A and B are shown apart, each in its own frame.
Chain A
């Protein structure tokens, strides 16, 4: 269903009937009106031809006279000839398949035939009237008058045709009457053109009536057609509307089903926070039945008086702004007087005209979620303090033993103490890494940026990690010259990244090899590369190397140590500093880890 496809229907019923008739006449097709007129003119032709033959026959019989025999015979021959021609014309018209399209042509032919017929009778009047007796003259005059007036209905559909037809009958007759030398005939000759004009006027009027009749008929046809079409359109639109209504009803049922079964409380409210509707989850959450709450103000009923978030002022502001509000945490009063911690998402429904139709509020009981958040916080604090405190003692004691401050121990004792210290340190690293990841992922991590010279950073990182690398018999070297630039970064955290990458590289390098630190600076970006000669990163591990607890091989962990969090933390730290981190295979074996950091425009080389 596409409402856009519906044709707009103009059903304005206000205009008057006369206006509609004029409108209708204007809507008539002139071509079709002409065709109708021609049809009307050809219709009475057989009757006319019959009348001509009959009247012509009687006239020939009555006017038969020795003196004028040849003339009468000629005349009768002409009548027969014209009638035959008219018959041919008539049957030609009847047989024509395109008479409507060629109406003008048929009209002209008919005009010529009317002229010929009129000329015949005019001839009779002009030639036979003077040469015959008084009785025959009366007969002829009567005949001519009858033949002329019979033309009115016959040619009513075209008054000019009647005017020509009657004109050629009347004109010669009038001439003869005027020149007869008889006073009475002269008077008649004076009257005949007047009668003629009156007849033409009548024909004209009749013609007009016919014309408007045709026009109205066509207009009516048109209107009927339009009406039928409109009716069809209306039917189609009604059908579409019905379909649309069914669809709307179906989606309405779907929506109400969603609301009914949803585990989230849903309220519909008006601009005054009056509750219009609510779902079973809302009943369950608040302990009210729907009937109890509908019609009551949510602001006055659902929130404690000392509620600071969802206040009437907030609500007024929300209604004025008409923008959705989400993650609004507040306390809600249950029916039993207890309150629950809730999180609201409130959405205003605004129609196309910009009016606020209603307000949909979705609400979740987040008491348990808050409790979980509190527990997590507590756990993190415990991890931070309670685990570190004993580790302080353990690592401290072992360091004191191992450094010989408290006296020399035997070889095996030193060896075991070193194992204990290393593993205690590993435990501490894990705790620190876990805390870091937690802080970064909860968004509580704040960097403390300062200006750091790249060369200082590289040198310091090599010094800090030298002893670790020594354990694996690996040398740390700077490759090439370090660009003289400063970075605006968190020094301690960037050092953490360097330490991670260097210690990883050292850990996986073969004894006696070197880990190289390369640096370059181009287009406002510093790139630091740390390459090793290790075994490279296994294919199947590459995609998850920066994810948490990712380690290529669980046996490596035991052999080499590490928490599996280091690279995940590095990635997050570098990204927090608006940089990028990655790795590639080193040509000739090994891996190159790199990170890129932006160089501040004003902190370039000095």
Chain B
């Protein structure tokens, strides 16, 4: 478990409405600092600039999907150490296993509960080495 508390989150998500709900959830319920990135192709620079504690990645996005972005992050200096949590409407075991195998810190399923989202992320955070 990291010593500092989970405070800064980057969320890469193409759906405007979900962006808004996630922001409200994390800011109001979770009292966290949130960066929302709508365009995955701009995500790498955004994340580098924001330097979050944790990145939340949508799985299915146009142009570049979550797993691809995740691989890019792993190849990019300065972003390799940031833990990544996927949030997906796809729920097959095989795909979840695949994500974990790629080194994801956790997987949350959509629809998520805005009431519980911050606590779910903190639970994953506590499990980190």
B interface bracket (residues with beta carbon within 8 Å of A): 20 to 34
- Is the Cβ of A392 less than 8 Å from the Cβ of B93? no
Q: Which of B89, B90, B91, B114 is the one whose CB lies under 8 Å from A400?
A: B114
Quote the shortest CB–CB distance from A108 to chain B (angstroms): 109
Question: Mask for A388-421, Cβ within 8 A of B = 1, else 0?
Answer: 1111110111011001011000000000000000
- 12 A-B pairs (CB sep. < 8 Å): A392-B18, A392-B21, A392-B112, A395-B111, A396-B22, A396-B111, A400-B21, A403-B114, A405-B28, A428-B111, A435-B91, A444-B92
With a cutoff of 8 Å between Cβ atoms, the chain A residues found around residue B111 in the complex are 388, 391-392, 395-396, 428
Q: Which of B22, B91, B92, B113 is the one whose CB lies under 8 Å from A399?
A: B113
- Is the Cβ of B25 less than 8 Å from the Cβ of A396? yes
A391 to B114, CA, bound (A): 13
Q: What 12 additional pairs, Cβ within 8 angstroms, besides A385-B89, A391-B111?
A: A384-B89, A385-B60, A389-B15, A389-B110, A392-B18, A392-B89, A392-B110, A400-B24, A400-B25, A406-B24, A446-B94, A448-B93
- Is chain B's interface secondary structure helix, strand, loop, or mixed overall? loop
- Is the Cβ of A393 less than 8 Å from the Cβ of B21? yes
- Is the Cβ of A399 less than 8 Å from the Cβ of B89? no
Quote the shortest CB–CB distance from A147 to chain B (angstroms): 125
- Is the Cβ of B28 less than 8 Å from the Cβ of A406? yes
A249 to B99, CA, bound (A): 65
A395 to B17, CA, bound (A): 11
For A392, the closest partner residue in chain B by CB is B111
- Is the Cβ of A403 less than 8 Å from the Cβ of B115? yes
Quote the shortest CB–CB distance from A448 to chain B (angstroms): 6
A391 to B18, CA, bound (A): 10
- Is the Cβ of A399 less than 8 Å from the Cβ of B114? yes
With a cutoff of 8 Å between Cβ atoms, the chain A residues found around residue B112 in the complex are 392, 396
Interface residues of B (CB under 8 A from A): 15, 17-18, 21-22, 24-25, 28-29, 60, 89-94, 110-115
Quote the shortest CB–CB distance from A577 to chain B (angstroms): 15
Quote the shortest CB–CB distance from A435 to chain B (angstroms): 8
- Is chain A's interface secondary structure helix, strand, loop, or mixed overall? helix
Q: Which of B18, B28, B92, B115 is the one whose CB lies under 8 Å from A393?
A: B18
With a cutoff of 8 Å between Cβ atoms, the chain B residues found around residue A439 in the complex are 92
A428 to B89, CA, bound (A): 11
For A393, the closest partner residue in chain B by CB is B17
With a cutoff of 8 Å between Cβ atoms, the chain B residues found around residue A389 in the complex are 15, 18, 89, 110
Question: Mask for A424-454, Cβ within 8 A of B = 1, else 0?
Answer: 0000100000010001000010101000000
- Is the Cβ of A397 less than 8 Å from the Cβ of B21? yes
Most buried by A among B25, B29, B94, B110: B110
For A405, the closest partner residue in chain B by CB is B28
Quote the shortest CB–CB distance from B61 to chain A (angstroms): 11
Quote the shortest CB–CB distance from A425 to chain B (angstroms): 9
With a cutoff of 8 Å between Cβ atoms, the chain A residues found around residue B93 in the complex are 446, 448
With a cutoff of 8 Å between Cβ atoms, the chain B residues found around residue A400 in the complex are 21, 24-25, 28, 114-115
Quote the shortest CB–CB distance from B18 to chain A (angstroms): 5
For A391, the closest partner residue in chain B by CB is B111
A356 to B90, CA, bound (A): 51
Nearest 9 Cβ contacts at the A-B interface: A396-B21, A392-B111, A393-B17, A388-B89, A405-B28, A396-B114, A385-B89, A392-B110, A395-B111
- Is the Cβ of B24 less than 8 Å from the Cβ of A405? yes
With a cutoff of 8 Å between Cβ atoms, the chain B residues found around residue A388 in the complex are 89, 110-111
Quote the shortest CB–CB distance from A309 to chain B (angstroms): 25
Quote the shortest CB–CB distance from A278 to chain B (angstroms): 42
For A490, the closest partner residue in chain B by CB is B93
Quote the shortest CB–CB distance from A488 to chain B (angstroms): 17
A391 to B92, CA, bound (A): 19
A393 to B15, CA, bound (A): 9
With a cutoff of 8 Å between Cβ atoms, the chain B residues found around residue A392 in the complex are 15, 18, 21, 89, 110-112
Quote the shortest CB–CB distance from A390 to chain B (angstroms): 8
With a cutoff of 8 Å between Cβ atoms, the chain B residues found around residue A403 in the complex are 29, 114-115
A406 to B28, CA, bound (A): 8
A385 to B61, CA, bound (A): 11
Quote the shortest CB–CB distance from B36 to chain A (angstroms): 14
For B113, the closest partner residue in chain A by CB is A399
- Is the Cβ of A384 less than 8 Å from the Cβ of B91? yes
A399 to B116, CA, bound (A): 10
With a cutoff of 8 Å between Cβ atoms, the chain A residues found around residue B60 in the complex are 385
With a cutoff of 8 Å between Cβ atoms, the chain B residues found around residue A448 in the complex are 93
Known: A384-B89, A405-B24. Contact between A396 and B94, CB under 8 A? no
With a cutoff of 8 Å between Cβ atoms, the chain B residues found around residue A390 in the complex are 17
Q: Which of B18, B29, B89, B94 is the one whose CB lies under 8 Å from A405?
A: B29
A304 to B29, CA, bound (A): 62
A397 to B92, CA, bound (A): 26
A388 to B89, CA, bound (A): 6
For B60, the closest partner residue in chain A by CB is A385
With a cutoff of 8 Å between Cβ atoms, the chain A residues found around residue B113 in the complex are 395-396, 399
Most buried by B among A403, A406, A444: A403
